[in-house]
Chain A
Amino acid sequence: MTTELATLPNLMPALPEILLAIGAMGLLMLGAFGGSKTSQAVNGFAVALLIIAGAIILLGTSSTVTTFNDAFIQDPFARLMKVLVIIGSGFSLAMSVGYAQVEKFDRFEYPVLVLLATIGMMLMLSANDLIAVYLGLELQSLTLYVLSSFKRDSVKATEAGLKYFVLGALSSGMLLYGMSLVYGFTGQTSFVGIADTVHMEGVGIGITFGLVFILAGLTFKISAVPFHMWTPDVYEGAPTPVTAFLAAAPKVAAMGLIVRAVMTAFDPMDLQWQQVITFVSILSMVLGAFAAIGQRNIKRLMAYSSISHMGYALVGLAAGNSAGVVGVIIYLITYLAMTLGTFAAIMSMRRRDGAVERIDDLAGLSRSDLPMAVLLGILMFSLAGVPWMGGFIGKWFVFSAAIEAGLYPLAIIGVLASVVGAYYYLRIVKIMFFDEPAPAFERPSSELRFVLVVSGLFMATMVFYVGPIRAVAEAAANSFF
């Protein structure tokens, strides 16, 4: 047998990921040899690396390229979602600076792990093959398990990490089982190959089994009902900067992965996955709306809020048309901005004797810190979907896509659930503006205030630039149609 040298694959499409991987290893070296005093510098370099990676993505070509034998795809959809993920990671890192100093959290491994999680998410968004999906997902999940229990001396954080790990391992098992079934019945792992085989041979029970298991594994990652059980405990137990990170970027990445998987690999099976997505979407919206009512801890409240928001985003996917994917993308943009802003506000909830996280601690905030109360109020109106805030615009696009596809019951249930959900968001506004004042918070650090101002203003004024955002989202959605 002759030995021939393999040709080097085209690395350029994966340049941002490669840059981040090398950067993460370099920063780990810097931290390990420089000692704990370098953690601020490592954090700064990590944010700079993310900005460079985002710039590479934005300045590169806008065409669709694949590499590594079609396992890795870089198309307009992947680019847009990767930029969103990078924004989520970068802002979470920036927000953690002040918190890290006060809470003895400033260890150089934190930014390095966030970078590695970001690589995992970017690989998920570019995955065009079942093996690539699994590896990207595991890279991201494993990092998130570690980050959840990063405050290892806190019992709650350890519990959060352990719960997340055990349930995450279960969901990975389901995902792998589904993948093995799909591989067994098609003989293919690439998305294109699966779609072609299903197209030729028709939809059998075996591959439907596989599809359902894969969707179960993936919906766990976006904490959609019935795979949401871990969310409130992990959100509450994890250190707040980690919760902000968990709630923002990984949700965008996992949702992008689900969209690509059902739109390319399982495109010929739309009747099958639409049922599953519709079911999951209804359950998430309803459970998220009702279960949040009784919450007293604002981090738990945000957990249920994110469950219901993922339900709304899935409404657009259930529609299965181009308008639906546009809706999902716009919804994710608004969700990312609202989540980052709200967590900037939650991290600002700090008194002299430490951080507080009860909703009642916000009482009378308008008298002690009017700008924060107004901005958080805007974000709450936006999360509730009050017109014409950003959150309303996201809901508008997903529901109109569902109606266009004839899914009237889904749209009606969604609107009713958002009315129920409005109760607890507006209750926070009422507590901030009309209740007896609780002791004032300490002055928040400038980076938290900056994130809060940016996201509050973005949500308040989004209605003026819906046009350009929609154009970008449509260009991204055209990757599939």
Chain B
Amino acid sequence: MILQSVFFYLFSAVLLISALMVIGARNPVHSVLFLILAFFNAAALFVLLGAEFLAMLLVVVYVGAVAVLFLFIVMMLDVDFVEMRAGFLQYMPIGLVVGVVLLAELLVAFGGWAVSPDLAANLGEPMPDIAQVSNIEAIGSLLYTKYIFYFQTAALILFVAMVGAIVLTLHHRTDVKRQKIERQVARTVENSIEIVEVETGSGI
């Protein structure tokens, strides 16, 4: 139990510090690297909770895809981050005031009530016993049966995203010479090379 608490505080502390560094780092590439560190620590917290499937998803999706995409964007776009941050100090006081007011409101609102004790019994889809069912089995048995409608609709949304990305970005350029592999493969010596007898001095 003590070991678990030690690891919990370790992962949480690293998570919070690296999250702070994401907005604090001067170099945007460092920011993205801290973001990746934050994702890994969040995944470790999921493992501590017994949700190993979510932890793996977090690593695969966020570290593997999203963070790498960010890294690409940061490196390829010519954005002057120093200039973007020029007004930061100037706007910080009002930003702080807004943040503190919002935090106070949330504390007042959320601190003022207690969650109903019957809530756990009222869950639409209660969590199965982790000792009996593995993570993937528990999610899969819901996702592909009861939630098949949502699963298919989400697929349709991804379909729209794909069509939309192609519609908005694909330009058919006519001034580019493209490689046509099937024509290259189909070429033979006979139809590519012509042997011409040239008489001396006359040219072709």
Contact = CB atoms under 8 A, between A and B. Distances in A.
B168 A71 contact: no
A279 B133 CA distance: 49
Interface string A141-154: 01101100110100
A189 B166 CA distance: 34
Contact of A112 (B122, B163, B169): B163
Contacts of B157: 135, 138-139, 142
Nearest to B116: A201
Interface in A131-189: 131-132, 135-136, 138-139, 142-143, 145-146, 149-150, 152, 161, 184-189
Contacts of B149: 9, 14, 68-69, 71-72, 132
- B interface majority secondary structure: helix
Interface stretch (B8-16, B37-45, B140-148): B140-148
A113 B168 CA distance: 12
A109 B169 CA distance: 13
Interface string B153-171: 1101101110110111100
Contacts of A142: 157, 160-161, 164
Contact of B113 (A6, A25, A161, A204): A204
A456 to B, nearest CB: 34
A190 interface: yes
A136 B157 CA distance: 9
Contacts of A68: 148-149
Nearest to B120: A187
Nearest to B114: A204
B88 to A, nearest CB: 21
Contact of A113 (B112, B153, B160): B160
B181 interface: no
B124 A188 contact: yes
A123 interface: yes
A201 B169 CA distance: 51
Nearest to B145: A6
Interface string B64-92: 00000000000000000000000000000
Give the interface size bracket for A toward B.
35 or more
A190 B146 CA distance: 13
Contacts of B113: 204-206
A201 B121 CA distance: 13
Contacts of B110: 206
Given A28-B163, A109-B163, A113-B167, A193 B124 contact: yes
B7 interface: no
A336 interface: no
A131 B109 contact: no
Contacts of B147: 131
A59 interface: no
B163 A132 contact: no
Contacts of A206: 110, 113, 115
Nearest to B125: A189
Given A28-B163, A149-B168, A209-B109, A186 B122 contact: yes
A28 B157 CA distance: 15
B164 A146 contact: yes
A119 interface: yes
B124 A132 contact: no
A1 to B, nearest CB: 7
A26 B137 CA distance: 34
Interface string A186-203: 111110010001000100
B194 interface: no
A413 interface: no
B122 A197 contact: yes
Contacts of B94: none
Contact of B146 (A69, A149, A204): A69
Nearest to A145: B164
Contacts of A131: 147, 150
A116 B167 contact: no
A94 interface: no
Contacts of A197: 122
Given A109-B167, A116-B159, A204-B113, A139 B153 contact: yes
Given A69-B146, A146-B160, A186-B119, 10 more contacts: A6-B145, A9-B149, A25-B159, A69-B149, A71-B150, A116-B159, A119-B156, A142-B161, A187-B124, A188-B124
Interface of B: 109-110, 112-113, 115-116, 118-120, 122-124, 132-133, 137, 144-150, 153-154, 156-157, 159-161, 163-164, 166-169
Interface of A: 1, 6, 9, 14, 21, 25, 28, 68-69, 71-72, 107, 109, 112-113, 116, 119, 123, 131-132, 135-136, 138-139, 142-143, 145-146, 149-150, 152, 161, 184-190, 193, 197, 201, 204-206, 209
